[in-house]
């Protein structure tokens, strides 16, 4: 039996397992759970870390100020050392779009051992908890590039109170407009769901934990009990670390796809998307070369072997190789179709997933290379050491 045939059968077996036993990761129907309005609406502080966000703030901040929420709510925007006038623009937008009260705070540069976003969240949460007569019962942690529908906060709170959840997070719909965004962005969410199946995360008592940092509703009492963000202050992948800390403290978590939140940040060129992925890919592998080698081997086996085996088998008159590779490729494309539909993209993109996976493989390797060159986890002018070096 030839090596390519063995690899093709191994890839087919992997895809059968992924399709049937990996938490139905490919389904896109995980939306906010059934919910009803609470008898009393809890107070909420919306905390927005922002660093050089003047480009996107006019499309996101007004949506937060305009939240139709029956209870007490406020917005705290944390200006994380911006140099583009983010703070002044935020105040101007608040004057032009009256709604929820806005406070802008500026904590200064992060203390040693802190990432910028978590340092900003710490100060925003501290401000929300200490500058009012009573601290808010919930915190909505949302990124500066996320625009919310007017009922977004209301529905998140309804879900949290109805299902007795301590953390409710939604994967905001990312922008898909350019050709590279169409090729890369739906796959980004697909790969995330494959790594962290939503159904497993949402299972009470489950061990899998993750969140989407762009939209996280967190009960304040549980945040204090879990010690966040202090307990995860070095985390580059802060959303997953946050969910793990909440679950470890006994909190109930939930993650799904958003219907009322979307990112307005553009990634028009491949380089923009490349930096977005590579800045944290090696951190996801905990900066371990063996995990990197295993990830590269796994991506090759699962995503690249099927089309290679299918084409080589057809070209070389080896029907068994072509059949195994073709079936694996078909399963791959079939499980990708729901995500393409979620992003309103044509089905003809489904067979291109191996090419996109190759791009992600190269981004991951580049992430490791940049790390060992001292430029790993770089974002908006800051470079973060791995936790052990911080």
As given in the structure block, the two tokens for residue 365 are: 């390797």
Least confident of 12-26, 115-129, 282-296, 366-380: 366-380
pLDDT score recorded for residue 296 = 97
Under the banding of pLDDT at 50, 70 and 90, the label for residue 384 is low
Q: Where are the alpha helices (DSSP H) in the chain?
A: 3-21, 57-65, 86-96, 116-130, 152-162, 179-195, 198-201, 220-226, 238-248, 270-284, 289-299, 305-315, 319-342, 353-372
**Mean pLDDT to the nearest integer, 222-231:** 97
Is the separation of the CB atoms in 295 and 1 below 8 Å? no
Q: What is the pLDDT of residues 359-371, one digit of tens each?
A: 999 999 999 999 8
What does the angle CA 23 – CA 28 – CA 33 come to, to the nearest 5 degrees? 85
- Which pTM value belongs to this model? 0.94
As given in the structure block, the two tokens for residue 296 are: 């590269």
pLDDT score recorded for residue 388 = 46
According to DSSP, residue 302 is labeled I
Q: What is the pLDDT of residues 295-320, one digit of tens each?
A: 999 999 999 999 999 999 999 999 99
* Phi, psi dihedral angles at 382 (to 5 degrees): -120, 145
| pLDDT at position 49 over 90 | yes
**Mean pLDDT to the nearest integer, 25-48:** 97
Q: How far is CA 166 from CA 12, 148, 156, 247, in A?
A: 39, 21, 11, 9
């Amino acid at each position: 039996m030839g090596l390519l045939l063995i690899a093709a059968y191994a890839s087919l077996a992997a895809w059968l397992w992924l399709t049937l036993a990996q938490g139905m990761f490919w389904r896109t129907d995980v939306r906010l759970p059934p919910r009803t309005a609470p008898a009393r609406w809890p107070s909420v502080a919306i905390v927005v870390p922002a660093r050089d966000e003047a480009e996107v703030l006019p499309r996101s901040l007004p949506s937060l100020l305009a939240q139709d929420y029956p209870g007490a709510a406020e917005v705290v925007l944390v200006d994380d050392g911006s140099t583009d006038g983010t703070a002044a623009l935020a105040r101007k937008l608040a004057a032009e779009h009256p709604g929820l009260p806005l406070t802008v705070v500026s904590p200064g540069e992060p203390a040693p051992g802190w990432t910028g976003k978590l340092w900003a969240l710490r100060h925003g949460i501290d401000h929300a908890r200490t500058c009012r007569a009573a601290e808010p019962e919930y915190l909505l942690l949302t990124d500066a590039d996320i625009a919310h529908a007017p009922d977004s906060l209301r529905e998140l709170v309804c879900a949290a109170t109805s299902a007795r959840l301590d953390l409710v997070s939604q994967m905001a719909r990312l922008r898909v407009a350019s050709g590279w965004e169409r090729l890369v962005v739906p796959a980004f969410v697909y790969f995330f769901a494959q790594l962290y199946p939503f159904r497993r995360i949402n299972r009470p008592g489950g061990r899998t934990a993750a969140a989407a940092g762009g939209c996280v509703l967190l009960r304040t009492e549980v945040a204090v009990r879990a010690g966040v963000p202090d307990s995860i202050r070095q985390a580059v992948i802060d959303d997953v670390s946050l969910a793990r800390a909440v679950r470890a403290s006994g909190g109930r978590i939930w993650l799904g796809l958003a219907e009322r939140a979307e990112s307005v940040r553009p990634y028009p060129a491949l380089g923009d998307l490349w930096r977005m992925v590579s800045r944290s890919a090696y951190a996801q592998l905990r900066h371990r070369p063996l995990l990197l080698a295993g990830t590269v081997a796994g991506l090759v086996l699962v995503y690249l072997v099927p089309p290679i085996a299918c084409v080589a088998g057809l070209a070389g008159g080896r029907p068994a190789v072509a059949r195994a590779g073709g079936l694996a490729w078909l399963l791959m494309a079939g499980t990708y179709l729901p995500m393409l539909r979620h992003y309103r993209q044509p089905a003809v993109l489904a067979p291109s997933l191996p090419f996109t996976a190759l791009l992600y493989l190269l981004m991951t390797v580049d992430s490791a290379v940049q790390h060992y060159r001292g430029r790993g986890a770089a974002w908006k002018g800051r470079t973060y050491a791995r936790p052990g070096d911080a």
